[in-house]
Amino acid sequence: MRAFLCGLLALVLAGSAAGAVRYGVTEDAGKYARDGGAGFFSQLNDVGLTENAITIYWDPSLPGGMAEPGLLDRVLPQAQARGIRIVLAVYALKPRMFTTSPTAEAQFVDFLQRLARTYPQVTDFVVGNEPNQPRFWQPQFGTDGSDAAATGYEELLARCYDALKSVNPRIRVLGFGLSERGNDDPRAPSNASHSPLRFIRDVGAAYYASGRTRPLMDAFAYHPYPGSSADSLDKGLAWPNASIANLDRVKQAVWDAFHGTAQRTFENGLGLTITEIGWQVAASGAAYTGVENVPTTDEATQAAIYARIVQQLACDPSVADVLFLHLIDETDLSGFQSGLERADGSHRPSYDAVRAAIAATRGLCAGTPVVWRHATGVVGAAVDLSGTRRRALARRTRAAVASADEGAIALAGAVRLPASSAAVEQALLQGSVSVAETRVRAASRTAIALPPTPDAPGLYAYAVMLQAALNPQRRTTFVGRPFRVR
C-alpha cells in the first residue's frame, strides 16, 4: 500500500509539473541587441521568465522572404544557452499581402516551412497576428459586408499547420493571435474589424465548409488587453469582445465553432496561450520621446495587476503560456510603455512583483482551480413574462423582457398546453404558431414584442426561446403562466 501511495503521489506531482504555466515576454529587444540577446535573456532568467516570442516579418519581395535575415542565427544560441524557449510569431509585413497576389499564400507557407527546417530548435510558431484587425489583414469584409478575413485566415492556418507538421510533428502550431476587440462594422469609416468572438465563429464556419478532417492548431493564441490601462484586472469588455476578465467567452466561442470536429477545444486538450498582455504606465524622463496618447495607470497598480495575472492564470488549466508585452518600454510615448523595465533600463515595481509571484507559484495553482464547462443554453439568459399574466392580457399589454450575458435572438409566441419543452421549442422554431422575433443585446434588458393571443379556444401560455447569436443550437426557453381562451 505504501509503495502504491508513493507511486500515486509521484504521478500527481508529475501531472502538476506538466501542467505548469510558462511565463515570458513578447519582445524583440533581444533580437536586435548587439550581443545577440545575452544580456536580455539573462534578465529574463533573473525574473523567472522562460519564454520569448520574437516577431518574424515575411516580405515576398525580399530574397528568401526574410525581412531581417541573420538575426535568428545570432539570437537563438544565446537563448538556448540560458534556457529560454523561443516562440516565433510569423506574419506578413503588409496587411494585403495575402489578398493581392494569388501566389502569396503558397509563398508564405513555403517560407514558414523553410524557417522550421532551418531552425529545428524552434518548436513553437504563431501563424499570423491579429487577423481580426485591418492593421494586419485586409480586407476584413467583402464589398457586400460578408466576412473575408476569417475565411482567408482559416485557409492559411490549415496550410501552415500541415506544412509545419510535415517538418516536425512535435511543432506546436499556435493559431489566431486575436486582438481583444473589434467593431464588426464593414461600413465603419475607420478600423472596420471583427470582434474576436465573431471572428472565431467565422473561422469555424469556414472550417466546416472546407470539409477538413485535420486540426488547425495545437494552441489558441490571444491578446486579452484591457479596454483601458486605467481599468482594473476584473473589468471586462462588452460582448462580443473579451479581455482577460472574459476568457470564458473565448472558450465558449471556440467550443461553439469547433466541437465535434478534428479540432480540439479547451475541454479536450487545446491550450490557451496569452501571447500579449500589458498595462501601460505613465512614463517620463530623458529616455522617452513624444506625447502619451492613451490613458495609463501608475507603477504600483501595474505591479499588483501583473502579480495577480501570474497567480490567477496559474489556476486556469487551459492556460499554457503567459507572455507580457514588454520587458522593456518602447521609448516613443505613442507606443507601448507596459514593460517591467523603464526605457532607461531601471526596474519598475512590476519587475520584482512578477519575479516574486513566479517564484511563489512556480507556474502552479496556489488557489482555487478554474473550472469551466461549455454552456448548452444561452449564457445568463433571463426572461420576465409577468406581462403575460391574466390581468395584463385583459388590458392587452402583452409584453416580456429578456436579458442575457451574450447576444441572442428571441422567438416568442403563444403555445397550446399541455406541451413538452421539446414541443414548445419546435413550435417556435418551425413557426407552427404565430412568432415574433427580436434581437437581444448582451447585458441589456430588451422588450420582447409578443404576437396576439390565439383565437381558437383552449389553454395556452406565452413562451420565449432565446438562441445564442453565435450558435443557434444553444437555446434556453421560458414559459409563462397558463391562460385560457374561451
Domain boundaries, the chain: 19-361, 382-485
Q: Please give the residue that has the higher pLDDT: either 450 or 147.
A: 147
pLDDT for position 386: 85
Convert the pLDDT of each residue in 33-49 to its tens digit.
Answer: 999 999 999 999 999 99
Give me the residue label for grid cell 420582447. Answer: 448
Label residue 206 by pLDDT band (50, 70, 90): very high
The answer, yes or no, to whether residue 18 has pLDDT greater than 90, is no
Cell of 12: 500527481
The residues near 441 (Cβ < 8 Å, ≥ 6 apart) are 407
| DSSP H helices in 144-195 | 149-167
d(CA 412, CA 429): 10
Of the spans 305-314, 379-388, 442-451, which averages the highest pLDDT? 305-314
Label residue 17 by pLDDT band (50, 70, 90): very low
Residues belonging to the chain = 486
Neighbouring CB atoms inside 10 A of 146's CB total 10
pLDDT for position 431: 86
Measured distance between the N- and C-terminal CA atoms of the chain, rounded to whole angstroms:
74
Burial class (CB in 10 A: 0-12, 13-18, 19+), 399: middle
Contact 272, 222 (CB under 8 A): yes
Cα maximum dimension of the chain: 89
The percent of residues above 70 in pLDDT, for the chain, comes to 94
d(CA 452, CA 240): 33
Q: Report the chain's mean pLDDT, rounded to a whole number.
A: 93
471-479/458-468 β-pairing = antiparallel
The pTM assigned to this predicted structure is: 0.93
Average pLDDT over residues 327-335: 96
The residues near 152 (Cβ < 8 Å, ≥ 6 apart) are 98, 99, 137
For domain 19-361, the CATH class is alpha beta
Contact 320, 22 (CB under 8 A): yes
- C-alpha 371 chain-centroid distance: 18
Convert the pLDDT of each residue in 341-397 to its tens digit.
Answer: 999 999 999 999 999 999 999 999 999 999 999 999 999 999 999 876 555 554 455
Average pLDDT over residues 402-417: 96
pLDDT for position 228: 97
The answer, yes or no, to whether residue 273 has pLDDT greater than 60, is yes
Average pLDDT over residues 128-135: 97
